[in-house]
Structure 1
Amino acid sequence: MALITTQPKNPIYNGCTTLHRSIPRRGNTTVLGLGSVKNFNFNRKQSKISLKSNPFTYNLAVTAKANAGFGEGLEGESLKHRKILLSEVEVKRERSVLFGRKWSSLDVGTAGIVLAMHVLCLFAPFHFNWPAFWVAVALYVVTGLFGITLSFHRNLSHRSFKLPKWLEYSFAYCGVLALQGNPIDWVSTHRYHHQFCDTERDPHSPTEGFWFSHMSWLFDTNSIVERCGEPNNVGDLEKQPFYRFLRSTYLVHPFALGALLYAAGGFPFLVWGMGVRIVWVYHITWFVNSACHVWGNQAWNTRDLSRNNWWVALLAFGEGWHNNHHAFEYSARHGLEWWQLDMTWYVVRFLQAIGLATEVKLPSETQKQRMAFNNHTIIT
């Protein structure tokens, strides 16, 4: 789900730039959004850390020491450390979002929509029919694959390839129907995630708690401004009237789709085509932020907690090859091995074959060698 607009002074597209939520903005009506640029300059002495003994030590050090002093005194935080279940990833700064703070009207609106979609799902067993089920499946592909993974993430956030404007805008509109935020806000949040990945300025890192990285960060709409400053990294989208229009009218479009579904198939179409489908795509998207920074393996020296997770990759059309993505953020292909299923890449490759996708970016062998682990050590 999403949030940003103008190119930063230190742009994310430095030859390499990495699904997650839209960044809420003060004064706007955006409700939701889903999200690593390497910008680590801590001016510390170099040290070598053995991956064999503790493959997470470097990442935890980055998280604990990066941007020292940021966020001191933030409400709802605890200093106790604990490991996440079945993982060596350690929660350094437990952040409570639900209690002990003042909720803004935007926080309440975001939580209200998420809750409403989950409540709508409760009616699914009692209003099942096959047409409604297949509508949900079709919209899962249209909004999840074409809208979120292909458009919001790989095309708009990372500019991994170019499309004709009519097709770029069509796919972006599919993303709006996922109810994860408008493209400007979604892209902004995701770019911030890459820029500050797994540090105290990351909008959603599991070092502040698994559920914080999965979904509760969505309900603190001012935290991104507090961590990252006002959105200034989506100028490429801000200057296009189409994306400004989607931002100003964002909520109209998914709810218009809901009305259309109800008119076409009654309450079952609404339950399955909106409730079940939206919640399904929500949690798949959120697992990229949470599970793919906690469970899985690291194939590349990305100096963060990103993981390749096969089951998230299956559900999220290839987005689960997340360590690959953080290593080569600019790449249109995330499943770099032949056996790494990547449905989004297959669509991009098809579009390239028929001449609609151009300037498709892939990592070179030199870039792969640069990101490879060297003798099982990481230089910090």
Structure 2
Amino acid sequence: MMRKLLVLLSNSNGGNQDNYKIPFSNVVVIGTRNYFWGRKWRNVDIQVASWFLFVHILALFAPFTFTWDSFFIAFIGYLLTGILGITLSYHRLLSHHSLKLPKWLEYTFVYFGVLAAQRDPISWVSAHRYHHQYVDTNKDAHSPINGFWFSHMGWLLDSGYMVEKYADRKNAEDLKKQTFYIIMQKTYMLHLYGCGAILYACGGFPYLVWGMVW
């Protein structure tokens, strides 16, 4: 059990392992992907990895840059990008069609989601719809049968997996027909850089740290 747990939590080099069951679940890992070495890194993977590194470096400065103004910026950022952007718009509105909003309000909330740095709307929604369609199988966008790290974070750094499984993202045609979502997909990283620049211009390094790391 200890060996299996260590394989589950680590195995940074990827490669196939003996089948094993994830503790406290019925999911069986059938083989892990090469997470870092021996795989093709696409431009988008490098961008995402660089962004992750940047944000985690910023987080190291959080204890030394605390101000109540910065904390307020982080709190507002969480409400706008996390609650309205991801939970309400990306998830409930776009992925599951649980509600309808006027287009101007839909696009506003979705733009907040873009600033949450969880990928553009088309990519996020497509992956989530495939996840529900193929949950815990080999076609799940972040299937645990490929290992703990892959299902937790690795899939975000491995766009090749998405291309292999469903390159055309046919399950997001409703979004691909709208110019707004196409623009968000093509200019995604620019909005994150712009957000960081505005935070720095408004409150210096403390705003950048707390506004981007919340």
Question: Of 221, 233, 240, which residue of structure 1 is paired with 2:159?
Answer: 221
Report the RMSD for the aligned CA atoms in angstroms. Answer: 1.8
- Show the counterpart of 1:271: 209
Question: In the TM superposition, what whole-angstrom CA distance separates every residue of 1:139-162 from its partner, at most 9, and x where no partner exists?
Answer: 011100100010011101111111
* 2:159 alignment partner, SS class: coil
- Give the Å deviation of 1:257: 1.6
Alignment of 1:1-380 (within 5 A): 76-87=14-25, 89-274=27-212, 276-277=213-214
- Give the Å deviation of 1:119: 1.1
**TM score, norm. by length of structure 1:** 0.51
- Give the Å deviation of 1:111: 0.9
* 1:169 alignment partner, SS class: helix
Runs of 4+ in structure 1 off by over 2 angstroms are 81-92
Asked if the contact 1:83–1:91 (Cα under 8 Å) also holds between the matched residues in 2, the reply is yes
Which amino acid is the alignment partner of residue 97 of structure 1? Y
Question: In the TM superposition, what whole-angstrom CA distance separates every residue of 1:181-212 from its partner, at most 9, and x where no partner exists?
Answer: 11112111111112221111112011211111
Q: Distance in 2 between matches of 1:107 and 1:217?
A: 10
Q: Structure 1 unaligned segments of length 5 or more: list them.
A: 1-74, 278-380
Asked if the contact 1:80–1:94 (Cα under 8 Å) also holds between the matched residues in 2, the reply is no
Which amino acid is the alignment partner of residue 101 of structure 1? R
Question: In the TM superposition, what whole-angstrom CA distance separates every residue of 1:299-345 from its partner, at most 9, and x where no partner exists?
Answer: xxxxxxxxxxxxxxxxxxxxxxxxxxxxxxxxxxxxxxxxxxxxxxx
- Give the Å deviation of 1:114: 1.1
Q: Distance in 1 between matches of 2:184 and 2:145?
A: 33
Larger Rg: 1
- Give the Å deviation of 1:87: 4.5
Question: In the TM superposition, what whole-angstrom CA distance separates every residue of 1:1-56 from its partner, at most 9, and x where no partner exists?
Answer: xxxxxxxxxxxxxxxxxxxxxxxxxxxxxxxxxxxxxxxxxxxxxxxxxxxxxxxx
Which amino acid is the alignment partner of residue 156 of structure 1? L
Asked if the contact 1:205–1:212 (Cα under 8 Å) also holds between the matched residues in 2, the reply is yes
Q: Distance in 1 between matches of 2:22 and 2:190?
A: 39
Asked if the contact 1:76–1:101 (Cα under 8 Å) also holds between the matched residues in 2, the reply is no
241-250 or 209-218: which moved more? Answer: 241-250
Asked if the contact 1:192–1:228 (Cα under 8 Å) also holds between the matched residues in 2, the reply is no
Q: How many residues align?
A: 202
